[in-house]
């Protein structure tokens, strides 16, 4: 298979050859026709004068059919005279008195030929008509030599144009195919596992756009692979901790190191429950990724949803001396959501807020209409987040313990709660976002935007 470089070169060359050939043929035909027309116009003017002189000298057209009519080329007095030929003379009635090409003596010239011809005037009297048909140039005539030189010049121009087209074709094809070759090499490298490949963007055209798309794809693929590796490592870590505790306590009880008491079995049960929750969270995320997360939407009032969720956290907030407030607008549109799934979203967000809100702090649940959607928000009074953490808070297994310290009484989550919340909200056609403030006690605000039902 020929390379695209050769295809482009042959395409440029083919187009150039066809274009030049058409131009040469058209120029040759046009030059010949226009030059014949030019010389015919000059000959017609001289011939008209000769015919007028003949009529004035003889007083009639008698003998015109045998008369020899000559003219000389301008400024060439030494040249032999040129004989007029290929012309027809008709009298004033249109009867042929000197036959040229296509006519015989005595024929009547058609009216359209009369209109095409030139009237012969002697004084105020019209004495006849000249119908002039310029003949082909003789092989050695000056006119033919001029046309031959013109044709040769056109041929040389065509050859030069073809050579330039070939050179431009080579340069342009290399310029076009060079980034394509780079993209091909980079693609092969990516297919072999090198995800760091980036190509140079040299233009703002379609090829430059393709290179930009490749760089974006390569970067996203690299991040995706790294995230998958990190997620696999995080899953292994999260599973290993409860499994190690379960196995350790079970073996200790089995070997008699620990007595088979209720508190030892309770540790095993708690870690098994933790392991079950983690597996369930991973299952929910995998279903959301596949678009198979089951949702049974119902039309509900946001106020009722927030009040029910707040009632679930009364004991925990009181135990930690955290105030839980509701700030619900007086008029709210209804929403169509799965109550169980949306309760899971809010509890995941509240767990996160409760984990990072210090004792004596405050958590508020709010709801308000905003344009074409309803906004539910959870605001805590924790230390807040840095901007770089805010952008990644909804990533799986991402924790920000360095800036939002966990309280010892509330165990840290698996890092999947907010990721699950985002997946569920998006499955409802909504959006989940986070806001933070550098002011002391402002903490983190998670906003759930859900489409209005009415």
Give the tens place of pLDDT for each residue, 100-144: 777 888 888 888 888 888 898 888 889 889 887 655 555 666 666
Q: Which domains does the chain have, with CATH numbers?
A: 1-86+134-189 (no CATH), 206-289 (1.10.287.130), 298-451 (3.30.565.10)
- pLDDT tens string 224-267: 787 777 777 777 777 787 888 888 888 888 888 888 888 888 88
Q: Write down the pLDDT at residue 392.
A: 78
Q: Is 336 helix (H, G, I), strand (E, B) or coil?
A: strand
Q: Write down the pLDDT at residue 164.
A: 80
Closest CA relative to residue 404, chosen from 358, 350, 347, 346: 358
Q: How many CA atoms lie within 13 A of 120 on its CB side?
A: 27
Task: Put residue 82 in one of left, alpha, beta given phi > 0 → left and psi -120 to 50 → alpha.
Answer: beta
Q: Write down the pLDDT at residue 73.
A: 39
The reply to whether the predicted model has a pTM over 0.85 is: no
Task: State the Cα–Cα distance between residues 285 and 182, nearest whole angstrom.
Answer: 38
Residue 369 is inside which H or E element, if any?
A: strand 362-370
> Distance between terminal CA atoms of the chain?
63
- pLDDT tens string 426-436: 989 999 999 88
Backbone φ, ψ for residue 395 (5° rounding): -75, 155
236 touches 247 (CB < 8 A):
no
Q: Is 326 helix (H, G, I), strand (E, B) or coil?
A: strand
Q: Write down the pLDDT at residue 35.
A: 64
Q: Write down the pLDDT at residue 404.
A: 43
158 touches 152 (CB < 8 A):
no
Task: State the Cα–Cα distance between residues 434 and 377, nearest whole angstrom.
Answer: 9
Residues in contact with 57: Cβ distance below 8 Å, sequence separation at least 6, in sequence order: none
What secondary structure letter does DSSP report for 394? T
173 touches 8 (CB < 8 A):
yes
Task: State the Cα–Cα distance between residues 222 and 237, nearest whole angstrom.
Answer: 22
Task: State the Cα–Cα distance between residues 131 and 118, nearest whole angstrom.
Answer: 7
Q: What residue ranges of the chain have pLDDT lower than 70? A: 1-5, 7-8, 12, 33-43, 69-86, 133-144, 399-414, 437-442, 454
Task: State the Cα–Cα distance between residues 28 and 157, nearest whole angstrom.
Answer: 13
Percentages (nearest 5) of helix, strand, coil residues in the chain:
55, 15, 30
């Amino acid at each position: 298979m020929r390379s695209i470089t050769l295809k482009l070169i042959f395409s440029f060359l083919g187009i150039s050859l066809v274009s030049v050939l058409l131009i040469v043929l058209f120029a040759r035909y046009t030059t010949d026709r226009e030059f014949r027309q030019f010389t015919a116009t000059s000959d017609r003017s001289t011939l008209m004068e000769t015919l007028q002189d003949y009529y004035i000298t003889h007083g009639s057209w008698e003998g015109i059919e045998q008369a020899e009519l000559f003219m000389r080329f301008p400024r060439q007095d030494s040249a032999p005279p040129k004989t007029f030929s290929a012309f027809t003379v008709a009298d004033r009635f249109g009867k042929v008195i000197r036959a040229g090409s296509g006519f015989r003596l005595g024929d009547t010239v058609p009216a359209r030929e009369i209109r095409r011809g030139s009237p012969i005037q002697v004084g105020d009297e019209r004495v006849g008509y000249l119908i002039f048909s310029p003949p082909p140039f003789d092989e050695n005539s000056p006119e033919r030599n001029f046309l031959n030189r013109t044709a040769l010049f056109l041929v040389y121009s065509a050859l030069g144009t073809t050579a330039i087209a070939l050179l431009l074709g080579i340069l342009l094809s290399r310029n076009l195919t060079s980034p394509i070759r780079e993209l091909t090499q980079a693609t092969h490298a990516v297919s072999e596992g090198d995800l760091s490949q980036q190509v140079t963007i040299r233009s703002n055209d379609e090829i430059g756009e393709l290179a930009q798309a490749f760089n974006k794809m390569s970067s996203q693929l690299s991040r995706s692979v790294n995230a998958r590796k990190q997620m696999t490592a995080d899953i292994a870590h999260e599973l290993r901790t409860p499994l190690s505790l379960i196995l350790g306590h079970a073996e200790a009880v089995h070997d008699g190191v620990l007595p088979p008491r209720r508190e030892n079995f309770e540790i095993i049960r708690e870690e098994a429950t933790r392991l079950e929750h983690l597996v369930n969270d991973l299952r929910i995320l995998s279903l959301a990724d596949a678009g198979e997360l089951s949702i049974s939407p119902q039309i509900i009032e946001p106020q009722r949803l927030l009040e029910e969720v707040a009632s679930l956290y009364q004991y925990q907030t009181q135990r930690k001396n955290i105030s839980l407030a509701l700030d619900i607008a007086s008029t709210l549109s209804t929403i169509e959501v799965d109550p169980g799934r949306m309760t899971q979203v809010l509890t995941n967000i509240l767990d996160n807020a409760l984990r990072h809100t210090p004792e004596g702090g405050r958590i508020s649940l709010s709801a308000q209409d905003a344009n074409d959607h309803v906004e539910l928000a959870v605001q805590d009074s924790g230390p807040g987040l840095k901007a770089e953490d805010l952008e990644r808070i909804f990533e799986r297994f991402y924790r920000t313990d360095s800036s939002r310290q966990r309280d010892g009484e509330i165990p840290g989550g698996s890092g999947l709660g907010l990721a699950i919340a985002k997946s569920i909200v998006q499955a409802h056609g909504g959006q989940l976002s986070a806001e933070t403030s550098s002011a002391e006690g402002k903490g983190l605000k998670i906003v759930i935007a859900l489409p209005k039902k009415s």
